[in-house]
Structure 1
């Protein structure tokens, strides 16, 4: 790597590592480091460097969607062999990257600590994940680099260090351009402001097809299975299948026990919403089978997370209930529910509720305890922060008039 304009150049960098936990050993090891030096005045590349890294424990090297495996790094240098070069690139410069504060910076410091030497120190840090989440909000969903690249038509993330760094720089340029245009020409690029968010249109104008959702009585418990499959971000995920297809359920006449509450937030500040509904015995049998199979598969995969059962047993006259999650997606500078929500009158006519922003108070006034609803939902799994279980994501809710 050329020095470029000395310490003034911004060091955009990215690391690839083994996958910690159930499918990647017990510790995280560096597999690849890539950096690009960028002139802050002209935003041009003045130098670059990348290297594969052979981990000390080669048995922990996991096959990733990036194709890095034990054979790939067998002849690569060890971290002590490249530590001087990485130190020279990073020390005394501004560091930049996507989610580097929580991930890449920690990995670099841990790697230097293991060699017994002082780590490089930044002049400053630009983490584009919280920066863009705050300024660009959630227009690209969860604001992961892959989704941002897709939003701007930059192609698919490769999960290789130097490629991801270049993609990060291009994403940053695109976001900055959009924000500049919106600030300079507010009348041409207006963004909807929050207000009364819900309007009603006939269901025929916006009702999507929900074929493939099975009622509990249509599900054969013997055909339910749990399978581990590659995920879109380089790891693996436990999936619940009915035969060879993802299990999707439709259940009618569920009674609401608790409506949505907005006290918990995600990293972007949007509420994490769910409702609790009582369920019939037929649905209980299906979900019990899913829960058991998924828990066994999770344990067999060496997951150390605590398993949280999907069915809550209340001990009341109707003893079983579940949480239906209502996901949120970006809508300009605001957010809306990705769950389709309808109201059905006593004659069976349905009208779609269209929300222009996420208003928890308004939604809670529609989904109150005792409300009867028909639900279409996906059966998914999660394993995060030492907690694992089944997540039920509502795709469509039909609120029935009392």
Structure 2
């Protein structure tokens, strides 16, 4: 048996990407349809070796029309391809003991690789470090390059169109990183001239990176930082893979310079590649809570006036104040050259107030966002009048969405699973923000006692279990919420984001 390679003799960076099926029902899981990887010299950033293979899933019926729309890989294309167990040796050899790199790999590709090896009864390969370019490039380029989809970044730098095939995508990923690094290097030499107001290529509406996950969060507006996992290695990935102690996340462009105690007060222009400084900077700008960097709600939706002595917010409409004929949607400016869909009522941003919503399923911390914090949401029964309004919003936003020719699948906002639940339901999301790795709720939470007295709750810490004890099935809440559109990881739709919740006593 050949000796297990060590990280000392495997200095190459392995950029890799997976194309998978798109699950059609909860619990179905993903099947790998293609694996592609390149080995890159870390000193010269040149490709040394490449490998790719289509993969035949255990069940060809998993290759659904939605899956084909995502990556173009059909059942006919994989019917004669090797199974994952047949290429597992090659995949393991490429990945084990090397630095792994890719776009959004921490949340998606790394997880799928581990699942695939566990499924065939083998120990998965272990990286000596993980580079997720999604977090790294968002911190340095998110403001100018719009959303952080690979297709958008490629369009920004005019280096081609994303094919959603593994080998093409990893090569494009490497080129995007090179372009970003070059621009940052030039800007660091003439910061007063080149960083004033950079003019880039307009960013058009683009398709997604094709890594869909029904249990992953969708975009809205709040941000959440990730926690550093090591004093010596900067945290550049949205979430850990397995035990973070064994998976340090490192920079593609340099070793850690200056250490965690580098003097950031020096008036000299800071080194843009100093990952020690970057670790300290990745706070509210780097990662998004409940969602990702893809979306950010306009500032006006956050500047909410509270009516003095009132239990309501100004600017929120009661259901009987909404005219269905006045509900519409419009494209509004977003990041440089991009647009997003905004829901309106008589030309004002639509926000709703719904009293006495019965909680069907309470808050739980089972699923985590990419920052490693519990993703907080709960399900309530939807009244007929609420369903009418939300259906009108769905129709208005979906019409514009279809005109944008996104490849994502539009998800109706109202759930109607009458097989298990008699009433239609909707999901309310509780946004979170973090500063200095301390998370807090971005929505006001109040408690109403039996006498009708409303008191604002003050939480000493972020605790999903504590919130779950307050918002549980069977109780009633008054909810003030915004309607935010999203288009992320092949899913699109409208999210109801809580601004204020009043929890009724039992």
Is 1:68 equivalent to 2:172 in the alignment? no
CA RMSD of aligned residues (A): 4.2
Is 1:374 equivalent to 2:478 in the alignment? yes
Per the alignment, in what secondary structure is the counterpart of residue 264 of structure 1?
coil
Is 1:297 equivalent to 2:297 in the alignment? no
1:206/1:332 CA distance change after superposition, 3 Å: farther
Name the counterpart of 2:61.
Answer: none
Matched pairs, number: 268
Q: Deviations over 1:76-109 (max 9, x none)?
A: xxxxxxxxxxxxxxxxxxxxxx99989xxxxxxx
Per the alignment, in what secondary structure is the counterpart of residue 34 of structure 1?
helix
Name the counterpart of 2:468.
Answer: 364
Give, in whole Å, the separation in 2 of the partners of 1:303 and 1:282.
30
Mapping of residues 3-402 of structure 1, within 5 Å: 28-30=155-157, 34-36=183-185, 67-69=199-201, 122=253, 124=255, 138=283, 140=284, 142=286, 210-232=313-335, 235-315=338-418, 318-402=422-506
1:142/1:311 CA distance change after superposition, 3 Å: farther
The answer to whether the 8 Å contact 1:34/1:51 transfers is no
1:204/1:216 CA distance change after superposition, 3 Å: closer
Report the structure, 1 or 2, having the larger strand content. 1
Give, in whole Å, the separation in 2 of the partners of 1:384 and 1:129.
30
Give, in whole Å, the separation in 1 of the partners of 2:275 and 2:322.
43
- After TM superposition, the score normalised by the length of structure 1 is 0.56
Give, in whole Å, the separation in 1 of the partners of 2:186 and 2:148.
29
Give, in whole Å, the separation in 2 of the partners of 1:323 and 1:36.
45
Name the counterpart of 1:186.
Answer: none
The answer to whether the 8 Å contact 1:373/1:399 transfers is yes
Q: Deviations over 1:123-155 (max 9, x none)?
A: 5488989977966774x36558xxxxxxxxxxx
5+ residue gaps in structure 1?
1-6, 39-44, 53-64, 71-97, 103-120, 145-202
- After TM superposition, the score normalised by the length of structure 2 is 0.45
The answer to whether the 8 Å contact 1:36/1:49 transfers is no
1:46/1:134 CA distance change after superposition, 3 Å: closer
5+ residue gaps in structure 2?
1-42, 44-138, 159-178, 203-233, 239-251, 258-271, 289-305
Per the alignment, in what secondary structure is the counterpart of residue 399 of structure 2?
helix
The answer to whether the 8 Å contact 2:483/2:495 transfers is yes
Question: Could you tell me how far 1:263 is from its partner in structure 2?
Answer: 2.3
Question: Could you tell me how far 1:267 is from its partner in structure 2?
Answer: 2.5
Question: Could you tell me how far 1:258 is from its partner in structure 2?
Answer: 0.8
Question: Could you tell me how far 1:205 is from its partner in structure 2?
Answer: 10
Give, in whole Å, the separation in 1 of the partners of 2:145 and 2:435.
34
Give, in whole Å, the separation in 1 of the partners of 2:328 and 2:355.
24
